[in-house]
Amino acid sequence: MCAAPSAASPTTTATGEDPIGLFESWLAEARKGEPNDPEAVCLATATPDGRPSARMVLLKGVDSRGFVFYTNLESRKGTELAANPQAALCFHWKSLERSVRVEGPVERVSDEEADAYFASRPRGSRIGAWASTQSRPLEGRWALEKRVAEYTMRFGLGEIPRPPFWSGFRVLPRRIEFWRSMPFRLHERRVFHRDEAGEGWRVEMLYP
């Protein structure tokens, strides 16, 4: 017979499971079955006084340290993260009927990481990073196309360096929730909490 759960923490147990490994396996399945952008994720940020905003970005890296995306540092999300370095991510793979939510503080990636990723982007995307003053008002499409033409001429056939205002952020996960659709809306929800030392995880089940 199984022992009764602890009254102090009825649903929480220590675990040797690796939520990052579980996320990577779910992402691998999504890459096989999701028709468009399986790496797409909703990023939520907030101002220092708590006004939230959310938008879609693309996940560009994940490992034991966290979840990485890149952006213009002067964009709305960039300035909000600079002022309030906390974020949440929500992945939703409709074809798999699965979702993953990630919450935690953020840090800037190293210049070396940002340089390496920027160099891997298509040339047009690198020029676009220079041309777009992201999140600022745009007079018309012609104004953007003019700036793209100007930077195309500026760099010619030479190398395109990473703009000083463009880099990446890493969300350092403190909480990761895995959601799976189940019949009669009795969905499965498993939440991993990183311990204070940052060396392990505890897991709990939640009511749907």
Catalytic site positions: 185
Q: Which residue has the tokens 């034991």?
A: 64
Residues 109-119, buried b or exposed e (16+ Cβ, 10 A)? Answer: beeebbeebbe
Q: Which two structure tokens, joined as six digits, stand for 192?
A: 């991993």
What's the CA gap between 90 and 101, in Å, rounded?
A: 5
